[in-house]
Structure 1
Amino acid sequence: LEKFKTDFAAAGVGQFGSGWAWLSVKNGKLEISKTANGESPLVHGATPILGVDVWEHSYYIDYRNRRPDYLKAFVDHLVNWEYVDELFSKAGV
């Protein structure tokens, strides 16, 4: 889980400008990705099971320009892991 958290946060930090970081299921495997603006993994043939908004409006009031801190708080405290597991099960893996 710790490697996932690190890799997922890195995807969000590495997204230049506005966008999203995702955990998706593609071809029966878990995949971490990032997309610009409003794009979704669906357009790349993947089923998203967790997404985090890294548009500045989602974190600026609480975190200013500290996107890494926002992402750490997101994966450590805000994710409903039971629901993510449910979506993973429904993704047909």
Structure 2
Amino acid sequence: MAIELIPLPYEPDALTPAISAETLSFHYGKHHQAYVDKTNAAIEGTAHAEQPLEAIIAAARDVDTGLFNNAAQSWNHAFYWHSMSPDGGAPSGELAEKIDTAFGSLDGLKEQLKARGAGHFASGWVWLAEKDGMLSIQETHDGDTLADGDHNPLLTIDVWEHAYYLDHQNKRPAYLDAVIDGKLNWTFAAENLARGSIWTYPA
């Protein structure tokens, strides 16, 4: 059972100007595709070949660095595409209440996401996550992931340089402003919160 490259949930130009179609052609079509291809090459002919991606990630952590990095990056990128939406919008209901409790307001959350994203050293990911009913911002470095942890990720933002360099050069804060202010998929975040368990990579 090979891991498939999931389809984008919107057209390649749908996130413009925050993220251009050119960036997506490289980021999704080349970087994400390469992670999926390398994961499949590593699991071919092994017991992992019949496992879901989350199980592969958990089994490879601290055991097989190459497999873990490629499997985790395959999962992270799929989650990242779903974390954005052309329509943006705003959180409501339980999600909005929990954001107000944890961060004071939606603006407070956005400010903290931007600060953590801009301050994250080198490559990695910034996450809005839930644990024991409380929301927090988590960071993972390089290819690490929350896919097999004890936090339930609601949204993620990729802060690897290839996520924004074609559009914003080295101005990571400009990329964060554009994505956080207008392209976060709050419907996806609410679904992840309501489900109460970690999102699974589509089979």
SS at match of 2:170: coil
Q: Which has the larger radius of gyration?
A: 2
Match of 1:45 among 138, 143, 150: 150
SS at match of 2:118: helix
For the aligned residues, what is the CA RMSD?
1.4
CA shift, 1:39, in A, is 1.0
Structure 1 runs of 4+ aligned residues shifted over 2 Å read 41-44
Corresponding residue for 2:177?
A: 72
Q: 1:26-72 deviations in whole A, cap 9, x for unaligned?
A: 12210101110111234541111100100000000001111111011
TM-score, normalized by length of structure 2? 0.43
2:121 paired with 1:16: yes
Corresponding residue for 2:138?
A: 33
Q: Is the 8 A contact 1:15 1:35 kept in 2?
A: no
Equivalents in 1 of 2:164, 2:130: separation in Å? 26
TM-score, normalized by length of structure 1? 0.90
CA shift, 1:7, in A, is 0.4
Corresponding residue for 1:55?
A: 160
Aligned pairs, how many? Answer: 92
Match of 1:3 among 81, 97, 108: 108
Corresponding residue for 2:72?
A: none
Q: Given residue 31 of structure 1, which amino acid in structure 2 is its aligned partner?
A: S
Unmatched 5+ stretches in structure 2: 1-105, 198-203
SS at match of 1:41: coil
Equivalents in 1 of 2:126, 2:145: separation in Å? 10
Q: Given residue 17 of structure 1, which amino acid in structure 2 is its aligned partner?
A: A
